[in-house]
Copies of this chain bind each other. A is one copy, B any other.
């Protein structure tokens, strides 16, 4: 019996999964779950879902709802953070501004949803504030950080605060798409992935105990072209097809290990993303998750799903279980809680301080690695060395970008924001970057950021 808080629980598409997982984990019954959000309307929906679902599956959990974050943090054991400060609109507006300056699909490593605007200012500020409150109100609690940017956020909190923080993502599950393409039984497969969040690589891949990388090579050699002509690829959602796209295969060829999940979106080389046509070549007809087509599709489906979910919850006679069968999601948040609270050993894919797990990465940088979770806490499994070419061309640059973002944030260093932009291959002049930065900082939602970065 523990106390759990979900900060940002109004994101009901996400929190419904966590609530369902909690209800289905009998060993956590008797626990209290506090749903917290600043949006009362959305919080109410989440609370309605939680209490009704709980009742339908006859789970024994106590749910509370509050808009008061401090109240939600008081004496809890686990905090799940899923907050996106300001929502998606400012980010979309910043992208439109950036496009006017010649930055197709905006700035921020092409994957602007992770960063929440220039230098991730709003997200990092929120994370830090939350962690400071936790230090005071629940100093022994675990912070399960699932809001982006996970890499920057968890590294910042691990360095600056005393909070026990672990970063959680579901992107690594995309390895199953690879396994499926190879026509293997996922139960006979052993995988290990390592790197940074949204930058993880298949470091170990066994089928029936034998190296299965040759099966990938064979697939590329003899099946890939066919797959890229198939309806499954051509008409599939980008988040389902990117994992086996020509872009992913190219990254494997360039860097020596197969990229997994959001890695394909997030650290694919710049020359894959010059324009929509180029993106189509590498990531399929939609141009991938982060093209104007793929991303619009995602936002549209997201909205539709949310509406459907909200309508369902608002209809008191609808069966939630029929829509949400009592099967655990594959999210790792509740398993972490279950493993720590009930001392059940599990290996999960988590973001924790490196401390020697990946060779050549400093100890004070958070890495995403397999980790053993049990009553003793979270212990990462050493991964050893990554291929040198991958280190030099992806891992080191991605780490440096993280350090730049944190340095700019910590020191309020506007010059670093500018120098980051100067590294963008689309930047043609200092004046172009400077003007863009000034215009973004001049937006109404960036009043605080403008004060901060000098």
Stretch of A145-153, A224-232, A395-403 that contacts chain B: A395-403
- Closest partner residue, chain B, to A433 (CB atom): B271
**Option from B274, B411, B427 in Cβ contact (under 8 Å) with A388:** B411
**Option from B270, B389, B396 in Cβ contact (under 8 Å) with A415:** B389
Contacts of A388 in B (CB 8 A): 407, 411
B392 and A407 contact, CB distance less than 8 A? yes
A:381-427 near B, CB below 8 Å: 388-389, 392-393, 396-397, 400, 403-404, 407, 411, 413, 415-416, 419, 422, 425, 427
Q: Is the interface of A mostly helix, strand, loop or mixed?
A: helix
> Is A102 an interface position by the 8 A CB rule?
no
Least CB distance, A62 to chain B, in whole angstroms: 47
B400 and A396 contact, CB distance less than 8 A? yes
- Taken together as a complex, chains A and B put the C-alpha atoms of A454 and B269 apart, in Å, by 21
**Option from B270, B407, B422, B425 in Cβ contact (under 8 Å) with A389:** B407
Q: Which residue of A270, A274, A393, A415 has the most chain B CB atoms within 10 A of its CB atom?
A: A393
A403 and B392 contact, CB distance less than 8 A? yes
B392 and A269 contact, CB distance less than 8 A? no
Least CB distance, A267 to chain B, in whole angstroms: 13
B429 and A271 contact, CB distance less than 8 A? yes
Contacts of A396 in B (CB 8 A): 396, 400, 403
**Option from B393, B400, B413, B425 in Cβ contact (under 8 Å) with A419:** B393
> Is A445 an interface position by the 8 A CB rule?
no
A:222-281 near B, CB below 8 Å: 254, 269-271, 274
- Taken together as a complex, chains A and B put the C-alpha atoms of A415 and B394 apart, in Å, by 13
> Is A14 an interface position by the 8 A CB rule?
no
> Is A88 an interface position by the 8 A CB rule?
no
With A425-B425, A430-B271 already in contact, the answer to whether A400 and B404 are too (CB < 8 A) is no
- Closest partner residue, chain B, to A397 (CB atom): B400
B422 and A271 contact, CB distance less than 8 A? yes
- Closest partner residue, chain B, to A424 (CB atom): B425
**Option from B270, B393, B404 in Cβ contact (under 8 Å) with A392:** B404
- Closest partner residue, chain B, to A418 (CB atom): B254
Contacts of A429 in B (CB 8 A): 271, 274
Least CB distance, A433 to chain B, in whole angstroms: 9
The 5 A-B pairs at the shortest CB distance, nearest first, are namely A393-B419, A388-B407, A392-B404, A271-B430, A396-B400
* Residues of chain A whose beta carbon lies under 8 Å from any beta carbon of chain B: 254, 269-271, 274, 388-389, 392-393, 396-397, 400, 403-404, 407, 411, 413, 415-416, 419, 422, 425, 427, 429-430
